[in-house]
Amino acid sequence: MVSVQWLGGLFAGVTGLGSTLLLVPVMLPLAGLLLAIAFGGRHPRRIVLALLPLGLVAAVGIAAVVLEADAPLRYDLGGWAPPLGVTLQADGLSAVLLLVTSVVMLAVGLYAWPGFGVPPGSSETRTSFAFWTLLLGVWGGLNLVFLGQDLFTLYVALELLTFSAVPLVCLDGRADTLQAALRYLLFALLGSILYVLGTALLYGQFGTLDIGLLRDRLAAAGALPPAAIAAAALMTVGLLAKTALFPLHLWLPPAHAGAPPAASAILSALVVKASFVLIVRIWFDLMPALLTRSAAEVLGVLGAVAIVYGGALALGQARLKLLVAYSTLAQLGYLFLIFPLATSPAGNATGEVLTGGMLQLAAHACAKAAMFLAAGLIATSLGHDRIGELAGVGRALPLSVLAFGIAGLALVGIEPSGAYLAKTLLDGAAQASGQWGWGLVMQIGGLLTAAYLIRVFFHALSGFARPPALRARPARYQELLVLGLALCSLALGLLPPAYLAVVTVGRVAAAGGGLP
C-alpha cells in the first residue's frame, strides 16, 4: 500500500490537481475531436494515440487518490453544487472502470494503427477519419458515464456513446453491416426513450436529477412512491436493451458479425458495460430499497438464462467471431447474478458480491477484447474465420492462438484468473446465503465455455503437418498486444485484497460488506 499512498499523494498534492483531475478523462476525448477536425482529418490516429496514454495516466492517478483517501473524489463544475450545478464524482467503482477502459482503449488503438491508417500519398480517408473520431466519441461517452452524477448528464453520455458506437458496426458500408447497425440503433433508441421517460418521472416527483439529492429525498419519503418505482422499471428495461441482456440481445450478434475486430472488442468489452453500470447505480446507489428479493431474482433469472442460452448458442456457431459474440451474451449474465446474491438474508455480503461482480466485469473486458482481436488477426490472415477450416492455424499463428486460448481460459475461471476469483466470491456468497442455484448456474456456464473453447482448439491444433497458406501475416506487436490483454485478465486474480476492496469505496449499499 506504500506505493498507492505515494501515488495518491503525488496526484492529489504534488500536482495540485486534486479533484480537478476528474476533468481530464472528460476533456481529453473532446480535445482530441476538436484537434482532429482542426487538422482536417489528416492526423486523427496520431492525435488519438497521443491522448490515450495521458488518459491512462489520469485513470491511474484517480484510482490511487480514491484508494489512498478511502473516499470518493468529487468536483462541482464551475463551483456550482447541485441542484444548480453538475457534479463529477469518482468512487471506487468509477476508478476501476476508468482504469479498465483506459487499458483496453489504448490496446485497441495500438492494434488498429495499421488497419485504419492513411495510404501513402493521400491526405485522409473517410474510413480512417470516421474510425478514430468515433473512437474518441466512445471514449468520452464511457468516461462521462462513469463519472457523471446527474441522471440527465448520464443520458447525454449514453447518447454520445450510442451515436459513436453504432457507426463503428458499419464502417465498410456493406448492406449486411448497415442492417446490423440499424437494428442496434433501434434497440439503443428504445432504451434511450425508456430511460429518459424514467428521468422525467423522477424530476416531476422530486425536482432534481442529481443522484445524491434524489437518494436523500427518496429516503426521506419512506416507502418508494409509485412514480419512483415506475421510473426505475422504465430505466432498467431501457438499460437492459443497451446491455443486450437476454431477451433483448437480438442486436448484439449481428453487430459483431461484420464489424471490424477493433470495433467488436470495444463494443463487447466496454460499451455494453456502461449501461450495466447505470443499472448498478440505480439499484445500489439511487434506490437501494428496490433491491427486494423478488425484484432482484427477476434480474438474476434473466442473467442465468443468458449464461446457459448464450453458451449453448456459442457452442453451435460456425464462425469464430459469432462464437465470441454469443460468448459475450453468456458472460454478461454473470454480472446480473450480483442482484439476487446481494439480497443475502445474512445482510452483510453486499461488499463481497459487488467486488466479485466488478472483478468479473474487469476480467471479461480484458479477455473479451483479446478474443475479438485475436479472432480478427486469424480471420485477416486466413481470409475467413470458419471454425471448421482452422486446421493448422495453431502452427501458422501460434501467438494469436495462444492469446485466444489464454483469454478463453481466463473466462472459464481457471486459477489464478480474475474470473476465478470473481466466481469464487460470488459462489461463496451463494453458498453462505443458501442460494446454491446461482452457484450451479455458474458451474454450468463454465462447462459450456470450456466446451466451445475445446471445439475451437480441436480444429486449430489439428493439421500441424500442413499449415494453411496465409494471405497476410499480422504484425508481431499486434499479437503481443492481444497476448498482453489476455494475460491482464489472467493476472487480475493475483491482486491483493486491499486493492480489490477499492470497489466498495463510496458505496452506500456496500457498507458492512467486504472481502472474506
Boundary residue ending a domain (241, 257, 290): 290
Each residue's pLDDT tens digit, 285-295 = 888 878 788 88
Q: What torsion, rounded to 10 degrees, do the Cα atoms 227, 233, 239, 244 define?
A: -170
pTM, full prediction: 0.89
229 occurs within a structural domain: yes
pLDDT at 122 over 80: no
| Range in 17-21, 333-337, 455-459 with the lowest mean pLDDT | 17-21
Percent of the chain with pLDDT over 70: 90
pLDDT at 89 over 90: no
pLDDT at 253 over 60: yes
Residues 165 and 259 occupy one common structural domain: yes
Each residue's pLDDT tens digit, 257-280 = 778 888 989 998 899 999 999 999
pLDDT confidence of 511, banded at 50, 70, 90?
Answer: very low
Residues 319 and 429 occupy one common structural domain: yes
| Structural domain total, the chain | 3
Residues 345 and 439 occupy one common structural domain: yes
197 occurs within a structural domain: yes
Give the bridge partners for 88, in sequence order: 75, 148
Residues 413 and 327 occupy one common structural domain: yes
Residues 220 and 321 occupy one common structural domain: no
Q: How is residue 80 annotated by DSSP?
A: P
143 occurs within a structural domain: no
Is cis: bond before 29, omega within 30 of 0? no
Coil vs helix vs strand at 317: coil
pLDDT confidence of 3, banded at 50, 70, 90?
Answer: low
135 occurs within a structural domain: no
Dist. CA 159–CA 329, nearest whole Å: 22
pLDDT confidence of 218, banded at 50, 70, 90?
Answer: confident
137 occurs within a structural domain: no
Tell me which amino acid residue 380 is.
Answer: T
Closest CA to 110 of 513, 358, 501, 476: 476
pLDDT confidence of 470, banded at 50, 70, 90?
Answer: confident
Each residue's pLDDT tens digit, 47-61 = 888 999 999 999 998
Residues 53 and 198 occupy one common structural domain: no
pLDDT confidence of 72, banded at 50, 70, 90?
Answer: confident
Residues 375 and 423 occupy one common structural domain: yes
Boundary residue ending a domain (223, 256, 290): 290
Name the residue range of residue 316's domain: 306-516
Dist. CA 489–CA 153, nearest whole Å: 31
Residues 111 and 167 occupy one common structural domain: no
pLDDT value, residue 465: 62
Q: Three cell numbers at 469?
A: 497458406
Boundary residue ending a domain (290, 321, 353): 290
Q: Three cell numbers at 163?
A: 451515436
pLDDT value, residue 8: 47
pLDDT at 514 over 70: no
Q: If DSSP states are collapsed to H, E and C, what string results for 275-313?
A: HHHHHHHHHHHHCHHHCCHHHHHHHHHHHHHHHHHHHHH
Average pLDDT over residues 91-106: 91
Distance from the Cα of residue 321 to its chain's centroid: 18
pLDDT at 16 over 50: no
118 occurs within a structural domain: yes
pLDDT at 7 over 60: no
Residues 353 and 490 occupy one common structural domain: yes
Mean pLDDT of the chain: 83
152 occurs within a structural domain: yes
Tracing cell 456493406 back to the chain, one arrives at 174
pLDDT at 240 over 90: yes
Each residue's pLDDT tens digit, 349-400 = 567 788 888 888 888 899 999 999 999 999 888 888 888 888 888 888 889 8
130 occurs within a structural domain: no
Q: How is residue 76 annotated by DSSP?
A: E
pLDDT value, residue 129: 83
Residues 360 and 484 occupy one common structural domain: yes
Q: Which residue has better confidence, 494 or 179?
A: 179
Each residue's pLDDT tens digit, 19-40 = 788 888 999 999 988 888 887 7
Residues 494 and 386 occupy one common structural domain: yes
pLDDT value, residue 15: 43
Dist. CA 407–CA 367, nearest whole Å: 5
pLDDT at 6 over 70: no
Residues 316 and 456 occupy one common structural domain: yes
pLDDT value, residue 350: 65
Q: If DSSP states are collapsed to H, E and C, what string results for 322-355?
A: HHHHHHHHHHHHHHCCHHHHCCCCCCCCHHHHHH
